Amino acid sequence: MSTPGWTTEKPTALLVLADGTVIEGKGIGATGRTQAEVCFNTALTGYQEILTDPSYLGQIVTFTFPHIGNIGANDEDIEDLTPAARRGAVGVIFKADITDPSNYRSAKHLDAWLKARGVVGMAGIDTRALTAWIREHGAPNAVIAHDPNGEFDIEALKAEARAWSGLEGLDLAKEATSGQSSQWSEKPWVWNEGYSELDAAQHHVVCLDFGVKRNILRLFAGLDCKVTVLPATATAEDVLAQKPDGVFLSNGPGDPAATGEYAVPVIRDLIDTGIPMFGICLGHQMLGLAVGGKTEKMHQGHHGANHPVKDHTTGKVEIVSMNHGFAVDAKSLPENVEETHVSLFDGTNCGLRIKGKPVFSVQHHPEASPGPQDSHYLFRRFVNLIHEKKGEPALAER
C-alpha cells in the first residue's frame, strides 16, 4: 500500500501497521499512542454514536466518508452506558481536517471532545487507499500515535504493532461492561423534545451488559419495559433473582469465544428456563456458541449503516447498521436452530432462533444509532414473546 500522508515537513501522527507499513498524517484528538485493530466504517452520519459504541473497544475506526466533525459533539449522542469510563473506539482516522461545527445541537468541537475522551486520531490521509488495503489484506493490527512535536521512534512503534496479540482470544466485555447493576428508564429521543422517562412499566427485562448501547435500552423503555442492567459476569442465579419477564444479551467487543468461557454456561442455563431471550451482536454470537455452533474471525468485518440483510421469517430485505468482526458459522448450527437472517453482501449469518423456544438473536444492530430504523420491529418481536408467555395480546410488529 502506498503511504500518502499529510503534506507538512514533519507529520504529527503515524499509523504503523504490523507489516511495517508507516502512514503519515496530522494528529488530532488525544496525544499518545495505542495498539488496536484498524477497521473502516462506511456510515455517512453518526460519528459520535460510532465512536462511543462499546463494540469498538480495541479498534481504530477509519471513516470512509471524508468530512467528519462538521456537526460537532454533544452529550445526547453518546452510546456507551458509562461515558466517564470512555468505553468505545480507541483511535480514529479521517481524510479531511475537522471543521468548525455548524449545527444547533453542537456543544463542543469534535477535536476537543476526542481529547476529553482520550481518543488518539489522525487526519489528512488517503482513507480510500487504506480501506482498499483492508479489503484486500484484512483488518490489520496497528499502532496509532500522535505527538504534536512529531517525535516518533518508528522502529519501536513497528515492534509494538507486531507484538499486539489482536482481537482473537481477547475478552473485552469485562472492560466494556458497566460492572454493576443499575436500572434504566430513559425512552427514545424525540425531535426538539429530547429524552423522556418511562412512567409505568408493563414488563421487566434483564440485560446482561457485555458493552450495551444506550439506544437499545431506550427502545425497550419505549415499549414499556423496565430494564435492569447486570454486569457481564452475572450468573444465571443473579438474573433469575430479578424475576424477569425477558432476558437480553447485549452487544459488546472482543472475541465471543473468549467471553463465552464464562457467559455461555449462563446463557445455556437461562435457555432451559423458558424465559424469552433476545441477543444482539456479541450476544448473538454467544447464543450461537451456547446452542452448539461456532464463531469465526471475519476478514474485514462489517462496519457501516448501509448493509442489506434478509429476514427469512418475513421474506423482507432491510438496510441495517452493523459493527462486528466475528460471525456465527451458519453451517455449524444444529438442526433445532433456524437461521433467520442473512447478509446480502457476503451471505454470512445475521440471525438465529431456537425452534420451539422463545429465543432468538441477530448479528446486526436493530437499534441503529446511527443508521436506518428498518429493524426496530425486532424489539416488538421480543416483547411479543413476553406477551405470549403472559397470555396477553400481541403488539403489531410494524
Spatial distance between the Cα atoms of 361 and 338, rounded to a whole number of angstroms: 11
Unique residue bearing C-alpha cell 458459522 = 329
Residue 6, pLDDT > 50, answer: no
Residue 129, pLDDT > 80, answer: yes
Tell me the pLDDT of the chain averaged across its residues. 95
Spatial distance between the Cα atoms of 41 and 307, rounded to a whole number of angstroms: 11
Is the pTM here over 0.85, yes or no?
yes
CATH class of 173-390: alpha beta
Mean pLDDT of 1-6: 47
Unique residue bearing C-alpha cell 448450527 = 333
Spatial distance between the Cα atoms of 116 and 30, rounded to a whole number of angstroms: 7
Residue 15, pLDDT > 80, answer: yes
Do residues 304 and 42 touch, judged by C-beta distance below 8 A? Answer: yes
The letter for the amino acid at 51 is L
Do residues 386 and 276 touch, judged by C-beta distance below 8 A? Answer: yes
CB-based contacts of 210: which residues, under 8 Å, 6+ apart? 173, 176, 177, 232, 249, 250, 251, 252, 259, 263, 282, 283, 286
Spatial distance between the Cα atoms of 63 and 54, rounded to a whole number of angstroms: 17
Gyration radius (Cα) of the chain, Å: 21
The letter for the amino acid at 209 is D
Spatial distance between the Cα atoms of 53 and 115, rounded to a whole number of angstroms: 17
Spatial distance between the Cα atoms of 35 and 95, rounded to a whole number of angstroms: 20
Do residues 23 and 5 touch, judged by C-beta distance below 8 A? Answer: yes
Do residues 358 and 389 touch, judged by C-beta distance below 8 A? Answer: yes
What is the CB neighbour count within 10 angstroms for residue 196?
A: 15
| pLDDT grade for 5, boundaries at 50, 70 and 90 | very low
Question: Mapping DSSP to helix (H, G, I), strand (E, B) and coil, where does residue 258 land?
Answer: helix
Question: Mapping DSSP to helix (H, G, I), strand (E, B) and coil, where does residue 373 land?
Answer: coil
Amino acid 82: pLDDT: 81
Measured distance between the N- and C-terminal CA atoms of the chain, rounded to whole angstroms:
46
Do residues 229 and 217 touch, judged by C-beta distance below 8 A? Answer: yes
Spatial distance between the Cα atoms of 398 and 183, rounded to a whole number of angstroms: 28
Q: pLDDT digits over 189-229, tens only?
A: 999 899 999 999 999 999 999 999 999 999 999 999 999 99
DSSP 101: P
Question: Mapping DSSP to helix (H, G, I), strand (E, B) and coil, where does residue 387 land?
Answer: helix
Residue 187, pLDDT > 50, answer: yes
Q: pLDDT digits over 233-271, tens only?
A: 999 999 999 999 999 999 999 999 999 999 999 999 999
Amino acid 398: pLDDT: 67
Residue 4, pLDDT > 50, answer: no
State the cell numbers at 180.
454493576
Do residues 122 and 15 touch, judged by C-beta distance below 8 A? Answer: yes
Domain boundary assignment for the chain:
13-163, 173-390
Residue 345: strand pairing partners? none
What H or E segment, with its residue span, contains residue 239?
A: helix 236-240
Q: pLDDT digits over 136-181, tens only?
A: 999 999 999 999 999 999 999 999 999 999 999 999 999 999 888 9
Angle between helices 256-273 and 282-290 (to 10 degrees): 70
Mean pLDDT of 334-341: 98
Q: Looking at the annotation, which residues are catalytic?
A: 281, 365, 367
Amino acid 397: pLDDT: 74
State the cell numbers at 58.
480495541
Amino acid 377: pLDDT: 96
From residue 174, how far is each of 306, 324, 341 by CA, in Å? 30, 17, 28
Spatial distance between the Cα atoms of 151 and 31, rounded to a whole number of angstroms: 12
| pLDDT grade for 1, boundaries at 50, 70 and 90 | low
Q: Any idea which fold 13-163 has?
A: Glucose Oxidase; domain 1 (3.50.30)
Spatial distance between the Cα atoms of 332 and 171, rounded to a whole number of angstroms: 22
379 burial type by CB count under 10 A (0-12 exposed, 13-18 middle, 19+ buried): buried
